[in-house]
Amino acid sequence: MSAEEPVSAEGPVSAEGPVSAEGPVSAEGPVSAGSRSRAQRRRDTEHRLTHDVDAWVASASADGVPYLVPLSFDWDGEALLVATPTNSPSGRNLAAGRAVRLALGHTRDVSMIEGEVEVFEIDALPPQRGDRFAARAGFDPRTLSTPYRWFRISPRRIQAWREVDEMPGRDLMRDGRWLV
């Protein structure tokens, strides 16, 4: 870097914005240098499912009022398990509508999941399944005084993309089956 190159608190910048040793970056992280294959996007999505702890969960009331909330989840390789208070907007919406949309990641590297919801009373799951959720999420809804329910979300459609160059072929799962 020469003395003429501008530097911000985050590091060097170019006319296009901040840069790092890996290339351009945005507020959300590195900007992709090229589109990933669908197989790579599936691997990246599976990594998020097994390593991320929280997801944005979107539901809607019976009269169509949307609701968006971050919830902790556990992925068992087939479905996501979330817990929320029975009488919260999300709890009511998920129980009544049985459909949900989740987002993992940030806007420049997102995995979108549409799923079907199964509802379980808080004492209905095997104890080891609840223990696994508690260890991963950092809280145990079974021990709280507020009534909670479990919501098991089976993915029906999964999409993943970083930027516009990954919009074609963003479908990774349809009808609950991986396409790649």
Helix, strand, coil content of the chain in percent (nearest 5): 20, 45, 35
Q: Is 121 helix (H, G, I), strand (E, B) or coil?
A: strand
Cα 13 to Cα 16, 17, 21, 31, distances in angstroms: 8, 5, 11, 14
Q: What pLDDT does 34 receive? A: 81
Q: Note whether 151 and 84 are within 8 A (CB).
A: yes
Q: What is the mean pLDDT of residues 47-55?
A: 97
> What tokens were used for 42?
């599936």
Average pLDDT, the chain: 86
Q: What is the DSSP string of 48-96?
A: HHHH--EEEEEEE-TT--EEEEEEE-EE-SS-EEEEEETTSHHHHHHHH
Q: What is the sign of the dihedral through the CA atoms of 130, 135, 138 and 139?
A: positive
Q: What pLDDT does 12 receive? A: 41
Domain boundaries, the chain: 1-31, 35-178
Closest C-alpha among 89, 92, 69, 83 to residue 143: 83
Q: Note whether 67 and 89 are within 8 A (CB).
A: yes
Q: What pLDDT does 5 receive? A: 38
Tell me the CATH class for 35-178.
mainly beta
pLDDT tens-digit map of 95-136: 999 999 999 999 999 999 999 999 999 999 999 999 999 999
pLDDT tens-digit map of 138-171: 999 999 999 999 999 999 999 999 999 999 889 9
What's the maximum distance between 2 C-alpha atoms anywhere in the chain? 65
pTM of this structure: 0.81
DSSP designation for 143? G
> What tokens were used for 107?
């806007």
